[in-house]
């Protein structure tokens, strides 16, 4: 099994898709998102070449949803090379238009379920506490350079030791740059955290992205690797909200990417094969929908343009056969839209309802 950075060492030898194939795939993939009511995706880790494919797809009219990509800065790069990569990009966060706009840079501090940096050892491997991909001092230096150049930064941190380390890094960045705009320094996932870490994040103005599909998909693996107590504490959205955190909900790269399936999971704490995990951390439907709409609009810098059906905003909306606010929570898991509109244009309308 390959985990974390090892994947990229091997993936470098895989045949590369050409620009035309990548652009076509973006058209196919974005249509699948539109069919489930997604109007904007935040592509959390791409290469500069893949950004060109996005531009090709945009110019060819292939994109069915808006895109906010992040460019990966790999931990395999020495500090000087990472800084040179950032300087050589020639742009910064916010470059683009309403359909395709660069969100920022992506760093990966630890692994996933099998490699997350934990404060206490793994339940199934007492000699292992996971790993950090970056030296914290190096990451602080690179992120400081990026922030000074106007970049938003999203950093993967799954385990509680990784979250604590990333808070140290981000606080070190702010100490050198001074206060930064909201949603500039973002912790991706924060699957495990403690009350002190949550208070630090809120106090310092660091935002959090949360993805219930990680628990839904990998609950059984978490139970094995982390044990039942830590698995119940994965993504305690109620505690993040009570602390006043800036939160945005999403999917990550795992299925299911139907937002309503994930709203169901946030409301019930249900999983694919591990039952209900941590029901005390469930949140209400209204909060879950807000995190998926207004929360992600704020994350993407689109709060004045997207996130609600409001006069003056872009006409992005999805029409459902049942009202999520009043439907039985268990019915949310399979709820899909009858149509999806992006910018006033139907991008999913299988029954031609909007053509009548």
pLDDT of 335 above 90: yes
The model's pLDDT over 72-114, given as tens digits with 9 standing for 90+, comes to 999 999 999 999 999 999 999 999 999 999 999 999 999 999 9
Q: Are 2 and 36 in contact (CB under 8 A)?
A: no
- Assigned token pair, 149: 């150049």
Q: Which domains does the chain have, with CATH numbers?
A: 6-355 (3.20.20.140)
pLDDT band at 49 (very low <50, low <70, confident <90, very high): confident
- 153 closest CA partner among 162, 142, 164: 142
Work out the burial of residue 25: count CB atoms within 10 Å of its CB; fewer than 13 is exposed, 13-18 middle, 19 or more buried. Answer: middle
pLDDT of 288 above 80: yes
pLDDT at residue 9, as a whole number: 81
pLDDT of 177 above 80: yes
The model carries a pTM of 0.96
pLDDT at residue 256, as a whole number: 83
pLDDT at residue 143, as a whole number: 98
Mean pLDDT throughout 36-42? 97
pLDDT at residue 277, as a whole number: 98
pLDDT band at 71 (very low <50, low <70, confident <90, very high): very high
pLDDT at residue 245, as a whole number: 98
The model's pLDDT over 214-264, given as tens digits with 9 standing for 90+, comes to 999 999 999 999 999 999 999 999 999 999 999 999 999 877 889 999 999
Measured CA to CA, the distance from residue 227 to residue 233 in angstroms comes to 10
**Angle of the 136-148 helix axis to the 79-88 helix axis, nearest 10:** 20
pLDDT at residue 6, as a whole number: 78
Mean pLDDT throughout 165-183? 98
Average pLDDT value for the chain: 96
3-state secondary structure the chain: CCCCCHHHHHHCCCCCCCHHHHHHHHHHHHHHHHCCCCCEECCCCECHHHHHHHHHHHHCCCCCCEECCEEECCCCCCHHHHHHHHHHCCCCCCCECCCEECCEEEEECECCCCCCCCCCCECCECCCCCCECCCHHHHHHHHHHHHHCCCEEEEEECCHHHHHHHHHHHHHHHHHHCCCCCCCEEEEECCCCCHHHHHHHHHHCCEEEECHHHHHHHHHHHHHHHCHHHHHCCCCHHHHHHHCCCEEECCCCCCCCCHHHHHHHHHHCECCCCCECCHHHCCCHHHHHHHHCHHHHHHCCCCCCCCCCCCCCCCCEEECCCCCCCCCHHHHHHCCCCEEEECCEEEECCCCHHHC
pLDDT at residue 7, as a whole number: 78
pLDDT of 33 above 80: yes
pLDDT band at 310 (very low <50, low <70, confident <90, very high): very high
pLDDT of 3 above 80: no
Mean pLDDT throughout 34-59? 95
Mean pLDDT throughout 21-37? 96
pLDDT band at 195 (very low <50, low <70, confident <90, very high): very high
pLDDT at residue 253, as a whole number: 81
Q: How far is CA 133 from CA 3, 139, 195, 347, in A?
A: 11, 10, 24, 40
């Amino acid at each position: 099994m390959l985990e974390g950075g090892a994947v990229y060492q091997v993936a470098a030898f895989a045949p590369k898709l050409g620009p035309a194939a990548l652009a076509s795939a973006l058209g196919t993939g974005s249509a699948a998102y539109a069919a489930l009511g997604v109007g904007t995706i935040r592509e959390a880790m791409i290469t500069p070449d893949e950004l060109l494919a996005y531009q090709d797809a945009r110019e060819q009219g292939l994109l069915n949803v808006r895109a906010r990509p992040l460019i990966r800065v790999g931990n395999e790069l020495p500090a000087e090379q990472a800084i040179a990569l950032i300087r050589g990009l020639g742009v910064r966060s916010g470059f683009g238009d309403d359909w395709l706009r660069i969100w920022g840079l992506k760093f990966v501090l630890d692994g996933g379920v099998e490699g997350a940096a934990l404060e206490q050892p793994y339940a199934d491997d007492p000699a292992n506490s996971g790993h950090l991909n970056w030296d914290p001092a190096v990451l602080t230096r690179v992120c400081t350079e990026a922030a000074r150049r106007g970049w938003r930064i999203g950093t993967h941190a799954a385990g509680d030791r990784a979250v604590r380390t990333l808070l140290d890094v981000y606080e070190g960045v702010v100490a050198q740059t001074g206060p930064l705009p909201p949603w500039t320094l973002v912790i991706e996932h924060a699957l495990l955290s403690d009350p002190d870490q949550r208070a630090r994040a809120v106090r310092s103005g660091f935002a959090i992205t949360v993805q219930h599909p990680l628990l839904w998909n990998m609950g059984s693996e978490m139970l094995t690797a982390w044990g039942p107590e830590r698995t119940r504490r994965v993504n305690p959205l109620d505690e993040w909200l009570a602390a006043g955190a800036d939160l945005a909900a999403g999917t990550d790269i795992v299925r299911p990417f139907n937002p309503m399936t994930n709203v169901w999971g946030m409301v019930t704490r249900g999983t694919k094969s591990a039952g209900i995990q941590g029901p005390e951390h469930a949140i209400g439907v209204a909060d879950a929908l807000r995190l998926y709409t207004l929360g992600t609009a704020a994350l993407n810098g689109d709060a004045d343009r997207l996130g609600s059906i409001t006069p003056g905003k872009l006409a992005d909306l999805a029409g459902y056969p049942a009202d999520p606010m009043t439907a039985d929570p268990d019915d949310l898991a399979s709820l899909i839209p009858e149509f999806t509109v992006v910018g006033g244009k139907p991008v999913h309308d299988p029954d031609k309802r909007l053509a009548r």
